């Protein structure tokens, strides 16, 4: 125990620790801590040129994503965005036979665009939604189904 704390004890009494050469000629053998690894079945080592890599991302990723999002939102007017999101909803409902739920969700979607009320031609947008949904949904949707959406 004294040998372990020799430096600290020596520093307490302001003495220089003496170097000991007791074991300088003897070197401890290296121990194998872990055995050889077994390769997993089905795992192969491939060449570096066959590895797929993505493009280098910019340092400020958030700023780059914000800029690309701003460009996309500047290119689309609210009316075409509404029709596009309704198209996504139509794709989600192509295998579901629940017309009332679909109409309710379209109403919620249209309600989220109320702040763009002056910029959106709602009858034209809803006509486009009806046109898109004709061949894709299990039920038929008419323009009259959307009468009370934007009141």
Q: Is 104 contained in some domain?
A: yes
- The answer to whether residue 66 sits within a structural domain is no
pLDDT tens sequence across 69-85: 555 554 568 888 999 99
* pLDDT tens profile 128-149: 999 999 989 989 999 998 887 7
What pLDDT is stored for residue 52 in this prediction? 77
Number of residues in the chain: 151
128 CB-near residues (< 8 Å, 6+ apart): 83
Q: Give Cα 8 distance to the centre of its chain.
A: 53
Is 78 in contact with 50 (CB distance < 8 Å)? Answer: no
**17 found inside a domain:** no
- Taking the C-alpha atoms of residue 79 and residue 105, their distance in angstroms, rounded to an integer, is 17
What's the number of domains the chain is made of? Answer: 1
Residue 103 placed within a domain = yes
**Structural domain contains residue 122:** yes
**Region of poorest pLDDT, from 30-39, 78-87, 88-97, 102-111:** 30-39
- Residue 142: domain span: 97-151
Whether 64 is in a domain gets the answer no
Q: Are 119 and 78 in contact (CB under 8 A)?
A: yes
């Amino acid at each position: 125990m004294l040998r372990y704390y020799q430096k600290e004890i020596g520093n307490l009494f302001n003495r220089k620790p003496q170097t000991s050469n007791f074991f300088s000629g003897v070197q401890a053998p290296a121990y194998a801590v872990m055995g050889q690894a077994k390769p997993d079945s089905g795992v192969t080592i491939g060449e570096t040129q066959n590895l797929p890599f993505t493009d280098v991302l910019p340092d400020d990723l958030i700023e780059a994503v914000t800029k690309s999002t701003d460009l996309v939102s500047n290119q689309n007017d609210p009316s075409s965005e509404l029709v596009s999101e309704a198209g996504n909803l139509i794709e989600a409902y192509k295998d579901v036979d629940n017309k009332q739920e679909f109409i309710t969700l379209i109403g919620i979607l249209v309600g989220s665009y109320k702040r763009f009320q002056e910029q959106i031609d709602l009858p034209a947008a809803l006509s486009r939604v009806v046109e898109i949904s004709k061949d894709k949904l299990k039920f038929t949707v008419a323009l009259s189904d959307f009468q009370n959406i934007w009141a």
